[in-house]
Amino acid sequence: MVYENIGIVGATGAVGSIIRQLLEERNFPYKTITFLASKRSAGTKLTFRGEEHTVVEMTPDAFNDLDLVIGSTPDETAQEFAPWAIERGCVVIDESGYWRMDKTVPLIVPEVNPEAIKDHKGLIASPNCSTTQMVVAMQPLHAAAKIRRVIVSTYQATSGAGVAGQAELTDSSRASLDGQAYDRKTFAHPIAFNLIPQIGGPKHEGYTSEEMKMVYETRKIFGDDSILVCPTCVRVPVTNCHSESILVETEKPLSAAEATQLFRDFPGITVIDDLANGQYPMPLGCTGNDDVYVGRIRKDLSCENGIAFWCVSDNLRKGAATNAVQIAELLVNSAATV
């Protein structure tokens, strides 16, 4: 199959904007490109590769001439448009949560399970941002020593809640400093100068939907339902980049030095780890980059085969847009080699 005519659904959103940047940066091949969004943004002008494009309203017929679509929309929008696109012979790469756990849909992180792409039936899902950076960091340790159990606490940026989440942090911080009242729209509690230990609704045994995504998606990506994951997801007043404190328990022992070398050797991971000189990954230093950053690598003092580390990644890039564009590149390259 040739993927000449591509579409970006949700092109005006936080992730969609980065997808546009990445397609330019990575010189993604195409003949025509169409930017789609809701009626609200239809008619908006976007500049792409020096040319002006008009945003088109997402309707069934908008997919008529498209071969490949990357979607970053709310779940219910993805539920609606994916069948429209597939019926018209278009392959969909979807960022939303709607299709990820569907048994017929491969859930792909190219550094971990690129082979899953061969099973696609017109729809491929990209994982939740907090899962993606964690599974990239897990992969080299899992390949060397088999991970049995993960305990993870996330520190998730407000851009994880889209354009509206980013705006709420800056606007409410300004209002708070000015002593003004602020009318919240996105988060259930004040996010300025606060932390919110809930992302998503209640889902299972006291865990939230965001936390259970980390459990289910990790197992699906590794193809291993025996991996135990205990997550706590927290929204923090950081504009961009999710941070995670991760503890993995492995079947075979690994020293901190061995784990560090495994991380260093793995494409897509950058190690910054010099505690004595105050060097470790932080959101401000990682934003705008595609890698998953790892630091504070150390032996767990409380269990025999445990490695603890700190992991930061740009949720809009590797956590979303970069992963989707890498999947699109896999697709295009695998079509080229058939």
Ligand X SMILES: NC(=O)c1ccc[n+]([C@@H]2O[C@H](COP(=O)([O-])OP(=O)(O)OC[C@H]3O[C@@H](n4cnc5c(N)ncnc54)[C@H](OP(=O)(O)O)[C@@H]3O)[C@@H](O)[C@H]2O)c1
Of 14-22, 173-181, 230-238, 247-255: span binding ligand X (CB under 6 A): 14-22
Among 6, 22, 33, 37, the residue binding ligand X under the rule CB under 6 A is 37
What does each C-alpha distance from 190 to 57, 100, 147, 171 come to in angstroms?
A: 34, 30, 37, 11
Q: Which is nearer to ligand X, 16 or 140 (CB)?
A: 16
**Max CA distance (Å), the chain:** 62
Determine which one of 90, 129, 233, 241 is catalytic: 129
Give me the helix-helix angle, 162-177 and 14-25, nearest 10°.
Answer: 120
Is 168 a binding residue for ligand X by CB under 6 A? The answer is no
Question: Segment 145-164, which members bind ligand X (CB under 6 A)?
Answer: 159-160, 162-164
Is 58 a binding residue for ligand X by CB under 6 A? The answer is yes
Is residue 242 annotated as part of the catalytic site, yes or no?
yes
Per the annotation, does 156 bind a ligand?
A: yes
Q: What b/e readout covers 129-139, taking b as 16+ CB neighbours within 10 angstroms?
A: bbbbbbbbbbb
Give the torsion through C-alpha atoms of 131, 58, 120, 209, to 10 deg: 30
Q: Which is nearer to ligand X, 38 or 261 (CB)?
A: 38
Determine which one of 233, 242, 286, 311 is catalytic: 242
Is 291 a binding residue for ligand X by CB under 6 A? The answer is no
Question: Segment 213-272, which members bind ligand X (CB under 6 A)?
Answer: none
Query: 268: helix, coil or strand?
Result: coil
Per the annotation, does 34 bind a ligand?
A: no
Q: Which is nearer to ligand X, 273 or 314 (CB)?
A: 314
Residues 6 or more apart whose Cβ sits within 8 Å of residue 56: 34, 35, 36, 37, 42, 62
Q: Which is nearer to ligand X, 74 or 285 (CB)?
A: 74
* Contacting residues toward ligand X, per CB under 6 A: 10-16, 37-38, 40-41, 58, 72-75, 77, 95-97, 128-129, 159-160, 162-164, 315-316, 319-320
Known binding residues for phosphate are: 100
